[in-house]
Chains A and B, each alone.
Chain A
Amino acid sequence: MLVLMPREADVGVTPEEPGVPATSPQDLLERVATGDQAAFSELYDQMAPRVFGLVKRLLRDHSQSEEVTQEIFLEIWQTATRFDSNRGAAVSWILTMAHRRTVDRVRASQSSRDRDVRIGIRDHNPDYDHVSETIEVRLEHERVEKAMSRLTELQRQAVSLAYYGGYSHSEVATMLKVPVGTVKTRLRDGMIRLRDEMGVAS
């Protein structure tokens, strides 16, 4: 099971943050699975800024980001019945789906990206310097930043381009001017290193 679970784990630990949710996403998602629209409303309030932030990070375009966020939450509504907490945390389930759907959209609107790939790397790191509103997010920043600093430069670039840029391994290979096989290896090595640094274990 995931160790790095903010909401479920941190409830009560960050009293500085007003409006700490009374109900965990896990419980809410289980209620959503019974057709509970009020629970969906609360789950949306808790998770939409996370999802929208991630989608926007990858897509950049505001109106497309809204569309994709809507599709993601509709899918959450429809498929909540298939969520099984024995198989993973609610936040993981939601963010994993959100990332995949967003990457699908990124790939579907490829034209401007071909240019990016040719021109080379842009800044795809999260905004580490940005002062976050909540302690919770700041702690996550620091944790990821610290773990990222343990990677080799190539690992770090490859992981960032893939996750925060939504680039495929072959695009990453073009941008970093290394063979695709090398990128695959670096992505795996890099993620394993991050897993170990952040103490993520099943």
Chain B
Amino acid sequence: MNDRNDDFAAQSGAYALNALSPEEREAFEKHLASSSETRTETTELSDTAVALGLAVDPVTPPPALKNNLMALIAQTPQLPREADVVAESDADSVDAASAPMSHVTPLAASAALAADDPAEQSSTAPAAPATPAQTKAQARWFTRPATALAAVAAAVALVVAGGVVADSIGRSSIEQSSFASQQADQLAAINAASDSQRLVSTVAGGATATFVWSGELATSALIVDGLEALPADQVYELWYIDDSGARPAGLMDAAEDGPTWRVLDGDMGAGDVVGVTIEPKGGSDAPTTDPIVVFESA
């Protein structure tokens, strides 16, 4: 056991420099929770790494980046404060602090973007009570539950990457951006709903589709990673299907970059089946081809 601990202690420098593999990073963070000595050293070495970062010449980013960000944050909710989250959760859950946002994780996985970090998603701080002094001296952001943080960042990155592309059909640019922001709001609302559910399936052709919905909101969204682009005279059409037949629920083009996603038009009924077909440009009133993917929500 001692050897094993020494092994971990030797990794503090590599950890502070982000030079560990994801698996090693995860194991190291678990170890941090149990060793105050390593924790103190790691904190100091992380601060030392920051000093290396401060020696890099600053470069001013293009102004458009800030404009973009200011628009994004205006519609991006912040995480609840940790104390609030813990208060709302059962105190006996080890994962209490990260639980409320954990339903976002599969979205994060489908986003396949930088913020998607498997190591962080499973790193959680110990639930053991600590004295305030201990907390102050030893706890740092890297020992805290990071699940929610990574997942939310990835979910938003998904919105950013796929947002405007997913439905640009026949809309002016102003209509497009307000449409994109509405869609982003709705997607966030579905994920935040207490009854949010999801299914994952493979699309003909190999893409991965994730269907998320909330019965309370009667709203659903489809996220497809790796959706193939169609010829210009065709379009993907989404359908809600119940006993009385298929109702058109919106069109989408494959995103050029990142996952394709769309919040479905109209209300989702309990037990509705959702399907996607390839239709002629402009869409059809009823499906004319076999669906490439089907989800049964019941």
| Residue ranges of A at the interface with B (Cβ–Cβ < 8 Å) | 2, 4, 6, 33, 35, 37, 40-41, 44-45, 48-50, 52-54, 56-57, 66, 68-71, 73-75, 77-84, 86-88, 91-93, 95-96, 98-105, 108, 126-127, 130, 132, 137, 140-141, 143-145, 159, 162-164, 166-170, 172, 183-192, 194-195, 198, 200-202
Question: Could you write out 9 A-B pairs with CB less than 8 Å apart?
Answer: A35-B78, A66-B65, A95-B50, A98-B53, A104-B117, A127-B57, A184-B11, A187-B19, A192-B13
Task: Find B141's partner among A56, A57, A82, A200 (CB 8 Å cutoff).
Answer: A82
B70: nearest residue on chain A (CB-CB)?
A41
A101 contacts across to B, CB distance below 8 A: 114-115
The interface residues of chain A lying within 8 Å CB-to-CB of B54 are 4, 6, 50, 91, 95, 137, 140, 144
Checking A40, A45, A82, A167 against B82 with a beta-carbon cut-off of 8 angstroms, the contacting residue is A82
User: How distant is the Cα of A141 from the Cα of B60 in the complex, in angstroms?
Assistant: 18
Please report the C-alpha to C-alpha distance between residue A44 and residue B141 in the assembled complex, in whole angstroms.
Answer: 20
Using Cβ atoms and an 8 Å threshold, which residues of chain B touch A169? 14, 19-20
- What are the nearest 7 A-B pairs in CB distance? A188-B13, A49-B58, A187-B13, A144-B55, A162-B17, A105-B114, A191-B13
Which residues from A are CB-within-8-Å of B21?
Answer: 168, 170
Bound CA span A60–B7, Å: 34
Cβ contacts under 8 Å, A143 to chain B:
51, 55
B57 touches A137 (CB 8 A): yes
Do A52 and B14 form a contact, CB below 8 Å, given A2-B50, A82-B81, A195-B45? no
Residues in A whose Cβ lies below 8 Å from that of B58: 49-50, 52-53, 137
Decide: A95 near B53, CB < 8 A? Known: A74-B76, A198-B48.
Answer: yes
Assess whether B52 is interfacial by the CB under 8 Å rule: yes
Task: Evaluate contact between B49 and A99: CB separation under 8 angstroms.
Answer: yes
Residue of A nearest to B24 (CB): A169
| Given A35-B78, A104-B115, A168-B21, A52 and B142 contact (CB-CB distance below 8 Å) | no
Complexed CA–CA distance, A95 and B50 (Å): 6
CA distance A19 to B62 in the complex (A): 19
Name which residue of chain A comes closest to B66, CB basis.
Answer: A44
> Is A81 within 8 A of B78, CB to CB?
yes
User: Does A191 contact B45, Cβ atoms closer than 8 Å?
Assistant: yes
User: CB distance A200 to B48 under 8 Å?
Assistant: yes
Query: Are B82 and A191 interface neighbours, CB within 8 A?
Result: no
Interface contact tally, CB-CB below 8 A: 239
Q: Whole-angstrom distance from the CB of B38 to the nearest CB of chain A?
A: 11
Using a CB–CB distance below 8 Å, which chain B residues touch chain A?
Answer: 10-14, 16-21, 40-41, 43-62, 65-66, 68-70, 72-74, 76-82, 113-115, 117, 135-137, 139-142, 144, 149, 152-153, 156-157, 160
Most buried by A among B13, B78, B80: B13
Chain A proximity of B181: nearest CB distance (Å)? 14
Separation of A192 and B48 alpha carbons in the complex (Å): 8
A8 to chain B, nearest CB (A): 12
Bound-complex Cα distance A162 to B4 (A): 24
- Interface pair B117/A33, CB less than 8 Å apart: no
B44 surroundings in chain A (CB, below 8 A): 195, 200-202
CB distance from B121 to the nearest CB of A (A): 12
Inter-chain contact B76/A77, CB cutoff 8 Å: yes
Q: How far is the CA of A73 from the CA of B115 in the complex (A)?
A: 12
B50 touches A96 (CB 8 A): yes
- A18 CB to closest chain B CB, in angstroms? 14
The answer for the CA separation of A66 and B117 in the assembled complex, in Å, is 20
For residue A35, which residues in chain B have a CB less than 8 angstroms away from its CB?
A: 78
Q: Which residues of B contact A44 (CB under 8 A)?
A: 66, 69
Contact B117 A190 (CB under 8 A): no
CA distance A162 to B52 in the complex (A): 11
Q: Assuming the A-B contacts A53-B57, A168-B21, are A184 and B14 also in contact, with contact meaning beta carbons closer than 8 angstroms in the complex?
A: yes
Min CB–CB distance B218 → chain A (angstroms): 27
A74 touches B79 (CB 8 A): no
In the bound complex, residues from chain A placing their C-beta under 8 Å from that of B140 are 87-88
| Given contacts A73-B69, A96-B142, A195 and B57 within 8 Å (CB-CB) | no
Q: Which of B17, B66, B69, B81 contacts A74 (CB 8 A)?
A: B69
